[in-house]
Amino acid sequence: MSLPRSDSISLAVVAVSTLVALYFTLTGSFAGASAEPIYSFEQAEQSELFDLMTDEFGGFLTPTMSGSWAMENLQVGRKVYEQQCIHCHGTDGHAETYTANLLTPAPRDFGLGVVKFTSTPVGLPATRNDLLRTIKEGVASTSMSRFEGSIKEQDLQDVADYAMYLLIRGAVWTNATDRLGAGGLSPAQAFAAAMEDQRQQFDLALASSTRPKIPSVADSARGREMYFDNDLGCLVCHQVDASGGPVNGLDLWGQPMVARDLTKGELRGGDSPADVYLRIRNGVKGTPMPAMAAELTPEQIWDLVAFVRSVQEDN
Amino acid sequence: MEQPYFRLLHRLAVIGVVVTIALTIGIGGTITSAEVGMAYPTWPDINGGSLFSIFYGKLAETFGIGSVVEHTHRQAASLTGLIILVLAIASWVTRGVPKNLRLLATGSLVIVIAQGLLGATRVLENTYSGAILHAVGAQFVVLLLVVLAKTTARDWHRPMQHFKAEHVDRIRLWSVVALVLLFLNLFAAASLRHKQGAFEGHLILAITTAGVILYLIRQALTTFREQKKMARLARSLAHILGTQLALGAAAWAFLIGPLIGSFPDEDTRFLAQSLIATGHLLCGVLVLAVTTALWMEVRFRIDGGGTE
C-alpha cells in the first residue's frame, strides 16, 4: 500500500512525538506533588524551636545532618523515600497519610524517635543497621514489604540513611518539646540539651547493638519450663497455648496491641533465631513486651528461642 | 447460507469485558489510586485465608481496609480468569466453532493466567516494573475479550461492505496506529501512576493519541456516514474520548496542577483524587475497547474493493 504524502508526514510526526514521550517516560522520574510540610504552632517558643530544628536538619525535602552523614546520600535517600515510602510514612515521617489510615497495623510514625525492632537494649534508639534490616527484610504479616532485590543496594543504603534522619529528627523534636513543656528552659537551651541527649543515646546504641549468632544446640525443654514459669510472665500475654491475642491498653503510638501468635511462625520482628533472641533480650519497644536482658542469661534466652521455634515447628 | 452464531461464547465474552473493566480494572485502579498495593503482601494466601474466602470484616480488622480492596481485586481477577476458562473450554466442546476462534480463546486463557502470575510477582517481589507491566497486561486482556466478543457476535458474518480502497486503507492504518499509541500511552500512564515515569511522557503521548483518534473518527464518519454501525462506533469513540480528555485535564489540575490545594480537608482531597484518577483510567480502557471494536470492523468487515 502506498501512503498519500499527507499520511506519511502525519505518521512521521506521530513517530517523533512518540519517541520523545517514551524518552521522558523511560529516563525521567516522577516530579511528584511532595511539598515541604507547613506547621502552625500555638506557642511562639515552639515556632522558635522549629526554626532551630530547620537550621540543624534542613527541610524534609532538603535534609542535612551534622556528623558522618553524606548529604548526597540523604538527598538520594529522600528521592527513594518519595517513590517507595511516602504514601505510608508521609512527607515528614509522621505516617499521617490517607493510605496509612487504610492499613493495620499502621505504618511506623518516626516522629517519636522510636521503632519497635532493634538490636539495642530497651531505652536506646535503633541503629541505622536496624532500619536497614527492616527495610530489606520487611515486617511479616504487615504492609511493610521486603525491599531487598526490588530496589538497588545503594538505594537501600541511602533510604536507610534518610529513615535514620527522620528518626533522629523525631527523637530530638520530641525530647526538646518535652523539655520546653517542663518549663525552665529557653527553646535554644531545650534544643541544645536534646541534641546532646541524642548524640549520647545514639553513641550508646551503636556500642550496645547486638547481633547474636545462631545457636548450634538449644534445649527447648528448658525453654518450655521457663515459658510456663509464672514469674517470667510469658503466659500473661502469649497464653498457655502460645496463641497470643489482644492485650489491654494501647502502644506508644496509640494503636491497639496484639500479643503475637507464636504458633504461626510469622513474627513481625523476624523469624530467625537471632531475631527471636533479640526480641526476648531487648523487648519490643513501645509495647508491653519486656526486655529480659537483666532477668535471663544469654543461655536461658537461647533456651526460650529454642522453645519458640519448637512451638512453630509443632504447628 | 446463514453463518453459525455461538450465543454462549458471545455472552461469555461480553460478560468478560464488563467484569474485567468494571470490577477487575476498576478495583485494581483504586488500589493504585489509594496506594495500597502492598497492603496484602502475600500470595496466594493471607494467614490461612484463601483467595476465595469471604472474610472482609476480619481482614479489615486485622490488616486494614486496604487489604480488603486488594483481596477484592484478586477475587475479581479470578472471576475474569474463570470466565475466560469457561469460554475456552466451551469453544472446544461446542461443535462447529472455527479453529481460529478456539485458538484465540485458548490464547486468551494463557494470557490471563500470565497476567495473574504477573500480579503475584508484583506482590511477592514488590517491584514497580512488575506493577507497570501488570497494569498494561490488563488492557491486553480487555483487547482480547473485545476481539472475542466481536468475532462471536451474531452480526459478525453479515455481508461485507465495500468502500473505496484508498479510504479503507487509511482508516485501517490509523486504527492500528491508534491502538499502538494507546498501549504506549497506557505504559506511560502506569509508569506515572507508579511514580516511575515523568509526566511529560504521558502528556505528549496523550495529545498524540487523542489527535490520531480524532483524525480516525473524522475519517470514519466521513467515509462510513451511510453505514450505521461504523458511524455509531465512531460517535461513541468521540464521546468517550471527550470525557477522557476532560478527566485527564482534571487529573492534572487536581493531582499535580494548580488546583491541588483546593480541597477543604485531607479526606476530601484523597477521595476526590482517587475518584478522578480511577475514572481517568477506566475511561482510557473504554477508549481502548471501542478503538479495538472499530479496528475489528474496518479490518475484517469492510472491503476496500468498492468505488465509494
pLDDT tens by residue, chain B, 308 residues: 556 778 999 999 999 999 999 999 999 999 999 888 888 888 887 656 788 888 788 888 888 888 889 999 999 999 999 999 999 999 999 998 999 999 999 999 999 999 999 999 998 888 888 999 999 999 999 999 999 999 999 888 887 778 888 888 999 999 999 999 999 999 999 999 988 878 999 999 999 999 999 999 999 999 988 888 889 999 999 999 999 999 999 999 998 888 887 888 878 888 898 999 999 999 999 999 999 999 999 999 888 766 54
The shortest C-alpha distance from B48 to chain A (Å) reads 10
- At a CB cut-off of 8 Å and minimum separation 6, what does A113 contact? A125, A167, A168, A170, A171, A172, A173, A174, A175
Cβ count within 10 A of residue A232: 17
Q: Measured between alpha carbons, how far is B95 from B107 in angstroms, rounded to an integer?
A: 19
**pLDDT for the residue numbered B2:** 59
* pLDDT on residue B17: 98
H helix or E strand, kind and range, residue B303: strand B302-306
CB B280 within 8 A of CB B244: yes
Residue A35 clears pLDDT 80, i.e. is over it: no
Residue A67 reports pLDDT greater than 90 = no
pLDDT at A218: 54
Q: How many CB pairs under 8 A join A and B?
A: 137
Span of A96-100, A152-156, A309-313, B120-124 with lowest mean pLDDT: A309-313
Partners of A3 on chain B (C-beta within 8 Å) are: 173
3 state SS for chain A: CCCCHHHHHHHHHHHHHHHHHHHHHHHCCCCCCCCCCCCCCCCHHHHHHHHHHHHHHECCCCECCCCCCCHHHHHHHHHHHHHHCHHHHCCCCCCCCHHHHCCCCCCCCHHHCCCCCCCCCCCCCCCHHHHHHHHHHCCCCCCCCCCECCECHHHHHHHHHHHHHHHHHHHHHHHHHHHHHHCCCCHHHHHHHHHHHHHHHHHHHHHHCCCCCCCCCCCHHHHHHHHCCCCCCHHHHHCCCCCCEEEEEECCCCCEEEECCCCCCCCCCCCCHHHHHHHHHHCCCCCCCCCCCCCCCHHHHHHHHHHHHHHHHHC
Question: pTM for this structure?
Answer: 0.82
Kindly give, in sequence order, each residue whose CB lies less than 8 Å from that of residue B11, ignoring residues fewer than 6 positions away: none
Nearest chain A residue (CA) to B171: A7
Flag if A29 and B196 touch (Cβ within 8 Å). Answer: yes
Q: Is the pLDDT at A217 greater than 60, yes or no?
A: no
> Which of A168-177, A260-269, B68-77, B276-285 comes out lowest in average pLDDT?
A260-269
Q: Tell me the mean pLDDT in the region A196-221.
A: 77
pLDDT, tens digit (0-9, with 9 covering 90-100), for B228-278: 888 999 999 999 999 999 999 999 999 888 888 788 887 888 889 899 999
Residues on chain B touching A33 (C-beta within 8 angstroms): 255-256, 260
The predicted pLDDT at position B59 comes to 81
Q: Give residue-wise pLDDT tens across range A102-149.
A: 998 899 999 999 999 999 988 899 999 999 999 999 998 888 988 998
State the pLDDT at residue B3. 63
* B260 contacts A7? CB cut-off 8 A: no
Q: What is the nearest CA distance from B219 to chain A, expressed in angstroms? A: 12
Of the candidates B287, B297, B299, the residue with the CA atom closest to the CA atom of residue B185: B287
Say what the pLDDT of residue B261 is: 79
Pick the closest to residue A278 from A258, A261, A293 (CA basis).
A293
Asked if A30 and B62 come within 8 Å (Cβ–Cβ), the reply is no
Give residue limits of the domains in chain B.
Answer: 1-158, 161-308
Grid cell locating A145:
514489604
Is there a contact between B266 and A98 if contact means CB atoms under 8 Å apart?
A: yes
Residue of B nearest to A34 (CA): B256
A8 touching B, CB under 8 A? no
Cis bond upstream, residue A63 (ω within 30): no
A70, A77, A82, A147 from A91: Cα distances, Å? 21, 13, 8, 19
CB A225 within 8 A of CB A296: no
More confident call, A98 vs B114 = B114
Give the pairing of strands A256-259 and B161-164.
Answer: unpaired
- Closest to A6 in 3D by CA, of B52, B215, B210, B51: B215
Question: Is residue A215 very low, low, confident or very high in pLDDT (cuts 50, 70, 90)?
Answer: low
For testing contact with chain B, the best of A79, A141, A143 (most B CBs within 10 A): A143
Asked if the model's pLDDT at residue A192 lies above 70, the reply is yes
Q: Does A99 touch chain B (CB under 8 A)?
A: yes
Nearest CA in chain B to A140: B41
A45-54, A89-98, A260-269, B227-236: range with lowest mean pLDDT:
A260-269
Distance CA(B155)–CA(B16), nearest Å, equals: 19
The answer to whether A122 and A291 have CB atoms below 8 angstroms apart is yes
pLDDT tens digits for B203-218? 999 999 999 999 999 9
B125/A150 CB distance under 8 A: yes
**What are the φ/ψ torsions at residue B228 (nearest 5 degrees)?**
-60, -45
The count of other CB atoms within 10 Å of the CB of residue A199 is: 14
- The answer for residues whose C-beta is within 8 angstroms of residue B50's C-beta and 6 or more apart is B44
Distance CA B36, CA B67 (A): 7
Among A71-85, A169-183, A287-301, B252-266, name the one with the lowest average pLDDT. Answer: B252-266
Residue type, B208: T
List helix spans (H) across B94-164: 99-125, 128-151
ipTM, two decimals, is 0.79
Residues in chain A: 315
Interface of A with B in 155-174 (CB under 8 A): none
Main-chain dihedrals φ then ψ at residue A250, nearest 5 degrees: -120, 155
- Report the CATH architecture of B161-308: Up-down Bundle (1.20)
Which pLDDT value is given to residue B135?
A: 96
**Residues of chain A numbered 200-229 and touching chain B (CB < 8 Å):** none
Whether A83 sits inside 8 A of B128 (CB atoms) is yes
pLDDT-derived band at A42, boundaries 50, 70, 90 = confident
pLDDT of residue A158: 96
> DSSP character for B25?
I
